[in-house]
Structure 1
């Protein structure tokens, strides 16, 4: 990786988005299996009415294993900054520092679909800023809850550079690898920050709550999209190392349906 892209080569870590798509005993067994496979973080999506409330679900997951837990990601369009920050701080306290607060603007139109007033993009960004500021006040000098911010345009990137500990770029399904690489390198030229890669597709499978289920996976493979990893563990490990070397990604987040498939990759690369 070129010198501008990063001052530090960060060790690999791997997170899993594990929504409840089955009965609770099956989900609990899945969480435990994810922990036993070497993943670092158990993540939950913020999708009201489709999943149980995020805070209690994460607290339940934290009680099952010693994994880190996190929101992937709080949707600012749906959330009051003060109460979100308090929930995040509370999860950090109750897990003794094992909580990562992921936050983003939220999918366009999600608030209207749920019967809530429309929230402009500018207001969403302001809520993100206010949430992080409130979290820092609640944490005080003795606790630092890591913030992972989902970013897309230049204004959200600027906010992340100011307040986040890690970022994940919201990439369109037809993202151009060269353009994305240049965008990330420009971003990293301002500050050394952890880069998280949201991987919605493994092989031809699409992870629930990480991308639309009708995604054209053949087109993604043809475009060499960064939202895809191969299902073959050896090929996936090679591609992951390539992305860290060429772009800077070190934290890879996949769907729970693929946790067993990529477990050999985690065994090989985690912490390296």
Structure 2
């Protein structure tokens, strides 16, 4: 990779709350007005269906890219996924970014009647899906054909060696899982040392190929009292990380807009991560930071 610290920032909002057509359209417009670059849709039961939601988002916005963030590969037949992704790329005017992962919520697979397999098997399914999609997108006879040459940009997200190896081979955007679950189901931020090691693992696999690196901040608190904000996060994660560790974790954005802006710049310099995707509940509070880092 070239100097990743020079890559422009991008910010996405991952929509997680379903609603009426009017409510969905309004919050997609709002995300664009707030300055976000990407509207994403998660792939979980109980949430909006990804492809129809993105087509509607395209109808009510002008600029933002539109992303599946991310699809559970095991939910999808690859040929049908290629049809839906290519058709959505057509209907959004070539604004689609296709995010894929191996899937991690067993209860959703059970509810959908889809067999839950071992982690290695789920990664195998992800790899098969990626290769099938790329073949179909590259086939000039395949219909529907995507607007974007060779198909929508591919984001592959995960943290383990095998998923990140697939990402290094195939992805245009590599997403790093920013949290882990404890036995009590508490979401704990992945510490900076782990993120750094994972980034270096990917760089070694890329062999100089350029990609964009993505990270989803989990905790966002725009506040004048950074110490108190970090204390609140530490309470939420039941003391699994120290205040010093939390202050260093790039998925914990706590402080004034200026402090968070400096943190984002430092994260890009340190890890080469320039694309950050926040959950919709954090979008408005992080918005003042976006203008502070534009052009930096």
The TM-score, its normalising length taken from structure 1, stands at 0.85
Task: Give me the whole-angstrom Cα distance separating, in 1, the residues matched to 2:236 and 2:69.
Answer: 20
Task: Give me the whole-angstrom Cα distance separating, in 2, the residues matched to 1:26 and 1:221.
Answer: 39
Q: In the alignment, which residue of structure 1 is the partner of 2:125?
A: 127
CA gap of 1:123–1:186, structure 2 versus 1, over 3 A, is closer
Measured after TM superposition, the shift of residue 114 of structure 1 is 3.5
Asked whether 1:199 is paired with 2:217, we answer yes
Measured after TM superposition, the shift of residue 143 of structure 1 is 4.0
Measured after TM superposition, the shift of residue 138 of structure 1 is 3.4
The Cα offsets for residues 130-154 of structure 1, whole Å up to 9 and x where unpaired, read as: 3222332333373431011012211
Asked whether 1:65 is paired with 2:61, we answer yes
Task: Mark the runs of 5 or more structure 1 residues left unpaired by the alignment.
Answer: 205-213
CA gap of 1:271–1:218, structure 2 versus 1, over 3 A, is farther
Q: In the alignment, which residue of structure 1 is the partner of 2:8?
A: 11
How many pairs were matched up?
A: 259
Higher-RCO chain (CA-CA 8 Å, sequence separation at least 6): 1
Task: Give me the whole-angstrom Cα distance separating, in 1, the residues matched to 2:220 and 2:20.
Answer: 24
Q: Secondary structure at the match of 2:11?
A: strand
- 8 Å CA contact 2:221–2:285 kept in 1: the answer is no
Q: In the alignment, which residue of structure 2 is the partner of 1:246?
A: 270
- 8 Å CA contact 1:146–1:164 kept in 2: the answer is yes
Q: In the alignment, which residue of structure 2 is the partner of 1:38?
A: 35
Aligned pairs (5 A) from 1:82-231: 82-109=79-106, 110-140=108-138, 142-171=149-178, 172=180, 173-191=188-206, 192-203=210-221, 216=237, 222=243, 223-224=245-246, 225-230=249-254
Higher helix proportion (structure 1 or 2): 2
Q: Which segment is superposed worse, 140-149 or 250-259?
A: 140-149
Measured after TM superposition, the shift of residue 226 of structure 1 is 3.2
Task: Give me the whole-angstrom Cα distance separating, in 2, the residues matched to 1:182 and 1:118.
Answer: 29
Task: Mark the runs of 5 or more structure 2 residues left unpaired by the alignment.
Answer: 141-148, 181-187, 223-234
Q: Secondary structure at the match of 2:94?
A: coil
Q: Secondary structure at the match of 1:260?
A: helix
Structure 1 ranges of 4+ moved more than 6 A: none
Q: In the alignment, which residue of structure 2 is the partner of 1:208?
A: none
Q: Which segment is superposed worse, 189-198 or 151-160?
A: 189-198
Q: Whose Rg is larger?
A: 2
Measured after TM superposition, the shift of residue 218 of structure 1 is 6.6
Q: In the alignment, which residue of structure 2 is the partner of 1:81?
A: 78
Q: In the alignment, which residue of structure 2 is the partner of 1:210?
A: none
Q: Secondary structure at the match of 1:27?
A: helix
Task: Give me the whole-angstrom Cα distance separating, in 1, the residues matched to 2:99 and 2:121.
Answer: 18
CA gap of 1:217–1:64, structure 2 versus 1, over 3 A, is farther
Q: Secondary structure at the match of 1:51?
A: coil
- 8 Å CA contact 2:220–2:286 kept in 1: the answer is no
